[in-house]
Amino acid sequence: MTSAPRDTSELSAQLSEHMNGYLYTACLYTVTKAGIADHLAQGPRTAAELGEQTGLHGPHLHRVLRYLATREVFREDEHGRFALTPMAGLLRTDAPGSLHDPFLMLGEDLFWKPLARMYDTVRQGRTAFDDIFGAGFFAHLQTVPETASVFNAGAAGFSRLWNEHVATSYDFPDGARVIDIGGGTGSLLREILTAHPHITGTLYDQQSVIDEHQLDTPDTTGRWTVQAGDFFEHVPAGADHYILKSVLHDWSDSDCLRILKSVREAVHDNSKLLVVDPVIPPGNQPHASKTIDAMMMVIHDGKERTQAEFEDVLSKGGFTVTRILPTPSLMSIVECVPA
């Protein structure tokens, strides 16, 4: 049964809201950077009170919070005081599943400026990031340590949403040695080692990233190492399981083949490669992978992939997909063996 057609005014209003989507993002970034949710943890406050606590202009802050309240982020009462809602609570730094650091990351010029050049990206078939910053995304991060730290924290914040699901959805055998390639600050590897107490692991990433690693916990003592390197050039040899989480989606197919070549040279006959990324489903239904795919196109020349696209690039890289394991999160585990 088809739904009744909506009138033009309703569609126009909905489309206008979509056009103002960047305004919503800017307001969320503003209150996140100011720590408004943390200030409201002890109870409702007026915008004037919050302004005094944060150094923001009270009347302007009121207008931002009033707008966000229309989206169920904060709630204004009849006395002009704002309170946390369940969504606003996720902006607290101490909240389980906090999105504080990811919102700070997405508010950086790293994302805003290339998104403003979306038209150029689609016209040229490549990201405008290099034109804006004079280098590719990760090369640029090497030159701006403070921004790199914001990015690392934001990426780790997103990872916390699914790391436990990934770690517990795959059965690593006792005694296995795992290498997390491009594993950032090690939040996934830490979860894997915690969930599987009889395996060991190595975090492999650039030196500036592993300097901020999060592996040193009582549950993982003596079972981890870190190693710095460039996965385009070399990957440590001899592990039983190699993990590429949120790595291949950063790169074009041609760059992915360079990474996979390094992995293929490192694996032994019985090794397994686990690619942890979203898998784009068919159809027109909303799915976060389709949103992230558009972002990857603008920032990295990267992409999210369908099952067929994963099978194609992995086959060209010397691997055969044996199965795809969904997890309770956005991520799936694409298990591969050397071809």
At 334, phi and psi to the nearest 5?
-95, 105
Total Cβ atoms within 10 A of residue 257? 16
Kindly report the length of the chain: 339
Residue 24's H or E segment, with its range, is helix 21-34
What 8-state DSSP symbol labels residue 191? Answer: H
CA–CA distances in Å: residue 162 to residues 145, 159, 195, 198, 245: 26, 6, 14, 22, 11
Q: Which two tokens stand for residue 311?
A: 């099978």
Q: Residue 74 has what DSSP assignment?
A: S
Under 8 Å CB-to-CB from 65, ≥6 apart: which residues?
31, 36, 47, 50, 74, 76, 82
Please tell me which residue in 196, 249, 287, 300 is annotated as part of the active site: 249
Is 249 a catalytic site residue?
A: yes
Q: Is the dihedral of CA 130, 126, 263, 110 positive or negative?
A: positive
Give the integer Cα–Cα distance in Å for 136 and 14. 36
DSSP per-residue letters across 210-248: HTT-----GGGTTSEEEEE--TTT---S--SEEEEES-G
Please identify every residue annotated as catalytic. Answer: 249
